[in-house]
Chain A
Amino acid sequence: MRGSPLLRALLAFFAILALGWPLRELTGATDAPRTQPKIEAAAEEQEISLKLDFTALPRAVKVLHLGKEVWDETTPPASMERTLQLAYPEAGIDLQLQIEWPADAPLAAVRVTFTDPTGETHEKSLWGQGSVDDVVTFP
Chain B
Amino acid sequence: MVRRMKAIRFSLLTLLALTLCCSAAEKLRVSSFSTILTEVAEQVGGDQVIVTGHVKPGVDPHEYEPKPGDLKKVGEAQVVLLSAKHMEGYVGKLKESTGTKGAIIEVGDRFASLKMKPEAGHEGHAHAHESDEDPHWWHSLACMQKAVKVVRDAFSKAAPESAAVFNANATKYLAKLDALQKWTRAELAKLPRDQRKLVTSHDAFQYFAKENGFTVYAIEGLSTANQPSSKKVAEIIAKIKAQGVKAIFPESILNPKVLTEITRETGAKVGGELNADGLGEGETSTYEGMYKHNVRTIVDGLK
Contacts and interface: CB of A to CB of B under 8 A. Distances in A.
Interface of A: 36-40, 42-43, 64, 66-67, 87, 89-96, 133-135, 137
Q: By DSSP majority rule, is chain B's interface helix, strand, loop, or mixed?
A: helix
Instruction: Enumerate the 4 nearest inter-chain pairs by beta-carbon distance, A residue then B residue, closest first.
Output: A89-B194, A91-B193, A67-B190, A94-B189
B194 A36 contact: no
A37 B196 contact: no
Contacts of A36: 241
Contact of A37 (B188, B190, B191, B238): B238
Contact of A133 (B186, B188, B244): B186
Contacts of A94: 185, 188-189, 193
Contacts of A38: 242
B4 interface: no
Interface in B52-88: none
A66 B244 CA distance: 18
Contacts, number: 57
Interface in B147-198: 182, 185-186, 188-194, 196
A39 B238 CA distance: 10
Given A66-B192, A67-B190, A91-B196, A40 B185 contact: no
Given A37-B238, A91-B213, A42 B194 contact: yes
Contact of B242 (A39, A66, A92): A39
Contacts of B194: 40, 42-43, 89-91
A135 B186 contact: yes
A59 to B, nearest CB: 20
Nearest to A93: B193
A66 B189 contact: yes
B189 A135 contact: yes
A37 B190 CA distance: 27
A42 B194 CA distance: 8
Nearest to B190: A67
Given A96-B186, A133-B186, A135-B186, A87 B242 contact: no
Nearest to B215: A91
Contact of A43 (B182, B186, B189, B192): B192
B193 A40 contact: no
